[in-house]
Amino acid sequence: MNNIIIKNILRSLLIVMVQIMIFKQISFSLSDLAYAHFLIYPMAILILPIKTPRGILLMAGFTIGLIIDVFYDSLGVHAAALVFTSYIRNLILAFLEPYEGYNTDDIPTFKKMGSGWMISYLSIALFIHCFLYFSIESFSYVYFFEIFLNTIATFFVSILVMLISLLIFRPKY
């Protein structure tokens, strides 16, 4: 059990470091507006074991989001979006629960859950995360078109990077 906890902590730290050191430097822009950002840090929360208690998810989401906020110079935007994503994670899992239910030791991976389930799970959670992130960032629905454009562009580049990284590294825990 402790081995699984240590592996998840190390994996989360690696994801946060890659987000800060590599993907912070990359954004696609059209004129003055940057529309596509790489947001892979929600993957640290989304690939935790399915039966992870909600309190631990919320604390981990807040901690990871706060670390990202420190390096992005954003005042709690990443933390707020990731805490909400951590909160609704169990609702998304319940929505996508197979007929047989989940085993106590299931983790969201392509091998255990299948590619269709995994793509659906990551897509729903990441889209909600991106929409909430850009809504909080602009803090006004006057900019709904920009929020929606940012959400769609960021969603597509981020889901692509997440799926490729999960297929390459294939986490077991």
- pLDDT in 10s for each residue of the chain, 173 residues: 578 888 888 888 998 998 898 887 776 665 555 677 889 999 999 989 888 899 999 999 999 999 999 998 888 899 999 999 999 999 999 898 877 777 766 788 888 888 898 899 999 999 999 999 999 988 777 778 888 888 998 899 999 999 998 888 876 65
- pTM comes to 0.88
As a whole number of angstroms, the distance between CA 61 and CA 46 comes to 10
- C-alpha to C-alpha distances, 108 to 37, 45, 88, 89, 170, nearest whole angstrom: 24, 11, 15, 11, 11
Question: Chain centroid to CA 152: how far?
Answer: 15
* Domain total of the chain: 1
Asked whether 137 and 116 are in contact (CB, 8 A), the reply is: no
Q: What local confidence, expressed as pLDDT, does residue 106 receive?
A: 76
Domain that holds residue 65: 2-169
Q: What local confidence, expressed as pLDDT, does residue 32 receive?
A: 53
Tokens of 152: 């769609």
